[in-house]
């Protein structure tokens, strides 16, 4: 789905206080526009969704119980991430989900240019993100992916080496 362009643009005239207030207004207006665009597309496709705007994040979710085939596909995608993300974390990368579409995903490292590809149906994982060490010397910071899919990344008691 391609979202419409934002409804407003920041004002470049006026003093600093006017500019900062116009930027904060633009963010709220833009979020409202994006939410409206998501709803418009959902109505066109007859999909029931819920949308919201919390702390600078615009979100949308399906407002129905998923079908069994959708649950199976989501389980396969989750299993793919549970296999691939620890590989990247072991190589000191900070894995970030760049693009996910159906059964496929492309992840990137938040600290270097490494990319990785995964396909849940074909059980394929490859790319520098999953095969080469990160060139940065400092330890990686936790990402959402590592906290969800790497044991011990959230709670010290989860790590087998600390048991």
How many whole angstroms separate alpha carbon 87 and alpha carbon 126? 10
For the stretch 6-19, pLDDT in tens is 454 444 444 444 43
Q: What percent of the chain has pLDDT over 70?
A: 76
3-state secondary structure the chain: CCCCCCCCCCCCCCCHHHHHHHHHHHHHHHHHHHHHHHHHHHHHHCCCEEEEEECCEEEEEECCCCCHHHHHHHHHHHHHHHHHHHHHHHCCCCEEEEEEECCEEEEEECCCCCEEEEECCCCEEECHHHHCCCCCCCCCCCCHHHHHHCCCCCCHHHCHHHC
User: b/e map of 28-37 (b: 16 or more CB within 10 Å)?
Assistant: eebbbbbbeb
How many whole angstroms separate alpha carbon 92 and alpha carbon 139? 7
Given this model, what pLDDT does residue 5 score?
47
pLDDT top residue among 95 and 46: 95
Residue 155 above 50 pLDDT? yes
Residue 109 above 90 pLDDT? yes
Given this model, what pLDDT does residue 7 score?
54
pLDDT top residue among 108 and 19: 108
How many whole angstroms separate alpha carbon 136 and alpha carbon 147? 20
How many whole angstroms separate alpha carbon 110 and alpha carbon 138? 13
For the stretch 22-56, pLDDT in tens is 333 445 567 788 888 888 877 777 777 788 888 77
Given this model, what pLDDT does residue 80 score?
92
């Amino acid at each position: 789905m391609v979202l419409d362009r934002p409804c407003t643009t920041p004002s470049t005239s006026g003093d600093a206080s006017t500019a900062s207030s116009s930027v904060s207004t633009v963010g709220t207006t833009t979020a409202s526009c994006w939410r409206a665009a998501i709803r418009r597309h959902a109505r066109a496709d007859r999909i029931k969704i819920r949308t919201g705007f919390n702390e600078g994040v615009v979100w949308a979710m399906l407002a129905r119980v998923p079908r069994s085939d959708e649950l199976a596909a989501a389980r396969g995608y989750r299993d793919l991430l549970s296999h691939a993300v620890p590989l990247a974390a072991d190589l000191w990368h900070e894995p970030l989900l760049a693009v996910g579409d159906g059964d496929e995903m492309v992840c990137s490292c938040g600290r270097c240019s490494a990319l990785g590809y995964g396909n849940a149906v074909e059980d394929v994982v490859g790319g520098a993100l999953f095969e080469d060490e990160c060139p940065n010397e400092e330890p990686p910071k936790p990402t959402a992916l590592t906290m969800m899919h790497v044991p011990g990344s959230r709670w010290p008691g989860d790590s087998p080496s600390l048991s």
